[in-house]
Amino acid sequence: MTQSNTWVRGGAVFLLAASVASSIGGLPFNTLPILLGAFADADGLSAATLGTLGSACTGGYLISTLLGPLWVDRIPWRFATLFASILTATALLWSGTSTATPYLPLAVFGFAAGLMHSLGMRMVGEVANKERAFGVRLLTELIIVATLLYFLPSLIASQSLIGGMSLLAVAVLVMAISAGFIPKGAVVPSHAEPANNIELPSTGISRAAWVALSIFVLFACGQVALWVFIERIGRSIDVSANELGLVFAVLKVVGGLSAAAVALLGDRLGNRWPHLLVLLFITLGVVMLAFPRDFWIYASGAWIWEGAFTIGCVYQTAAIAKLDTSNRLVVLVPAAFAISAFIGPELAGRLAESGGFAPLFWLAIGCAAIPAVAFWILGKPRT
């Protein structure tokens, strides 16, 4: 049996294993609001300190994702999966037992998980059917993250911070078992060009495409700033740990369904209206978060906001690709989001420290208005 036949025959097992391993990479961003809230309750941290703590985590993630292309095809995948998984679990336990504000442990957590994100994306990209491969990856991460988020708040409430960190660490080590079903390294078909020949963005990219990428950074920055304090907003109206678990678990499901809805809807709404609708629903969600008379208003606001945020990210990524006919600038979208995730928490902490949650609400709406206005002015992208 040839290597290619073996590869095709084992493709489903490999794809599932790669998707499970890749899910580790989504933990920093997805769990950050709950973890920051736990640190705030345990150590009495201020909003500004929480913001800096969040940026320390996402900063580590940003660094490792930028370094990914330098090592991902040079280090055996099984070894890299085990190393990154063990480092992630160790950083989580270190964060839970640290006697000082855990800037460094959370930075290591973000860095280690970022290694798994880079490796996971590379492995999933090895599968021939890209749409199916990344769809399976998204679904796998959705199931894993939603399950963890459902139990995490109540476990922290009953077993303290170390209980929650232990849950995440054990989950990471269990997911690391997937390394046994991952090939030692890349399987590059003979007809494919080497990864080193992939062209990077150049000055030939249109100015409008660069503007669109910059708009995406601003949009994501405002939404991430609100995201990291979603848990604190709930706590301010005495939402229980069990209720928070429900909110965050459903929230991730809503995000997945929103992405699926965009995939089904495609470009039927044109190039302008999607961004206006995103602004409308983000505004609706934020208003409900700003005036949560009861749990269900808070929960519904969070879910509506998450759905609109996800849809906005997808449509803006598509807009960037349409405005740049070379299809080269779109490779910078993950890095752009990582930059927003680094800036957003620090900005949110400073705003919340001086003005409470109100500035975060205005920031989220204002940053959502930027693409709505800009893409209306830009009009139909050039093809």
Does residue 193 fall inside a structural domain? no
**Residues 175 and 218 both lie in one domain:** no
Last residue of a domain, one of 186, 220, 255: 186
Residue 209, domain member (yes or no): yes
The verdict on residue 191 lying in a domain is no
CATH, residue 48: 1.20.1250.20
Range of the domain at 156: 7-186
Determine, yes or no, domain membership for 138. yes
One domain, residues 205 and 175? no
- Specify whether 282 is located in the same domain as 175: no
Residue 1 lies in a domain: no
Closest CA to 247 of 357, 165, 150, 148: 150
Burial 69-94 (b: 16+ CB within 10 A, else e): eeebeeeebbebbbbbbebbbbbbbb
pLDDT of residue 222: 95
Domain for residue 157, yes or no? yes
Select from 186, 213, 234 the last residue of a domain: 186
CA dihedral (301, 304, 310, 313) positive or negative: negative
Q: Are residues 214 and 169 in the same domain?
A: no
What are the percentages of helix, strand and coil residues in the chain, rounded to 5?
80, 0, 20
Q: Which residues contact 169 (CB under 8 A, 6 or more apart)?
A: 88, 89, 90, 92, 93
Amino acid sitting at position 87: L
* CA distances from residue 349 to 50, 161, 337 in whole angstroms, order as listed: 6, 21, 19
| pLDDT value of position 130 | 62
| pTM, to two decimals | 0.85
pLDDT of residue 336: 87
Which H helix or E strand runs over 118?
A: helix 103-124
What pLDDT is stored for residue 131 in this prediction? 54
Decide if pLDDT at 381 tops 90: no
Residue 194 covered by a domain? no
Q: Verify that 171 and 98 share a domain, yes or no.
A: yes
Q: Are residues 274 and 131 in the same domain?
A: no
CA 210 to chain CA mean position, Å: 22
Q: Is the pLDDT of residue 202 over 60?
A: no
Pull the structure tokens for residue 231: 């848990």
The token duo for 247 is 């909110």
pLDDT given at position 262: 79
Number of folded domains in the chain?
2
Same domain, yes or no: 126 and 253:
no
The pLDDT value given to residue 69? 79
Mean pLDDT, residues 37-45: 91
> Of 186, 218, 245, at which residue does a domain stop?
186
Residue 196 in domain: no
217 shares a domain with 167:
no
Q: What is the pLDDT of residue 331?
A: 64
How many residues in total does the chain contain?
Answer: 383
pLDDT tens digits along 274-333? 899 999 999 999 999 999 889 999 999 999 999 999 889 888 888 887 777 666 666 677
Note whether 214 and 163 are same-domain residues.
Answer: no
Q: What is the largest CA-CA distance in the chain?
A: 67
Six-digit token string for 24:
């580790």
Mean pLDDT, the chain, as a whole number? 85
In a shared domain, residues 135 and 279: no
Q: Do 174 and 254 lie in a common domain?
A: no
Which of 71 and 1 is assigned the larger pLDDT? Answer: 71
The verdict on 174 and 232 lying in the same domain is no
